[in-house]
Amino acid sequence: MYQPMLARSADPFTNPDWIFEVKWDGTRAISYITQKVMFINRRGVDITYRYPELQIKDNVTAPCVLDGEIVVLVRGTPSFADLQRREHIDDPFKIRILSRELPAVYIVFDILERDTIDLTGTPLLERKNILQQTVSESERLLICPYVQEKGGEYFTAATESGFEGIMGKKKDSLYYPGKRSGYWLKIKKTTTADCVIGGFIRGEGVRKSTFGALLLGVGCPLQYVGKVGSGFTEDDLIHIRDLLTQIETDRNPFSTPVPVDDVHFVNPVYVCEVKYQQVTHDNRLRAPVFLRMRYDKSPAECLQW
C-alpha cells in the first residue's frame, strides 16, 4: 500500500519551474483500481464502502493506483460539511441514501502505478501525461487541472472562487510516499494548523452541557500549544462532547503540566484543524478558531505547524 505524499506550507509565488492546482477540501484517498475499486484514506483505512457511487473502474485503460481527493461539490466548490455527513456513516441503508443525496466526486491529480509499474520515481509532468492517457473523466471522476508558473494569479482566482487555496508542485519532482516534501507546497488563504486534542474544559452557561474549549497539542511527545473555544456550531459541540467523554483519562497526555483549571484529559486520538493569527514567543497559538475535525489525519502527522 502507498502512503500519500505530503506538502509543506507556503505563501503565494510565481515560478516557471512549478505548476499550480486547486487545493480540494475533501478526504485524501489513494485508489487501487483493478477488477474492482478500493479507496484507502491517509490513515490506511479502507473507506470504499462509504462511496458506492464511485465505481470508476470503467474509466481507466489499465490497472492503476491513483492519488486524489474525495469531495462533495456544491455549485462547483467542495463542501466539507456535506462530506463529513458521508464520512462517519456505517449503516448500509443510510450510505445508499446519502450516495444519492450528496454524491461524491473523486478528483484525481496523480498516478503512482500503471500495469504494476511503479511510477513514483517518474518526474511529475511525465506522471501527469501518463494520467491523461490512463483516465477518462466522468460525472464521478475528474482530473485536476493545473496552470504553469503563475501561482500568484492562480491563488487569487482560486480563493475568489470559493476554494481554500492552491497547491504548488515542482515540475520535475518525484513522488515520495508518506514524506512531507518541499517539492509540494500548500498555499492557503488563512494560516491553519492540525492539532491533537488532549483534553477539554467543561462549559458554562449555554455550554454547560457540552464543553468550553479544547486543549491542543502538536509533536511527539505532545506539546501543549493552547486551547480553542470559538468557531464551534451547536452540532460540533454535541458531536465532539460525545466523542471525548468516551475517551477521558486521568493521565495528562501532554509532556508538561497544562496551565488550565478544571481540565478533563482525553486519550490523544483525535485531530482538529484550527486557524490562528500567529505563534507566540512561548509557542502558543494566538486567537485560534476551530475549523473542523480531521478524522482522516492521525496524531502522528501533527508534528509541526
Q: How far is the CA of 104 from the CAs of 65, 234, 293, in angstroms?
A: 19, 25, 19
Residues 6+ apart with CB under 8 A from 112: 2, 30, 65, 66, 67, 118, 119, 120, 175, 177
Which entry of 23, 169, 188, 227 is annotated as an active-site residue? Answer: 23
Active site residue 150: no
Omega of the bond leading into 221 within 30 degrees of 0 (cis): yes
Q: Which helix (H) or strand (E) holds 156?
A: helix 151-160
Cell of 260: 488550565
Residue 103 to residue 120: CA distance in whole angstroms: 30
Q: Which residues are designated catalytic?
A: 23
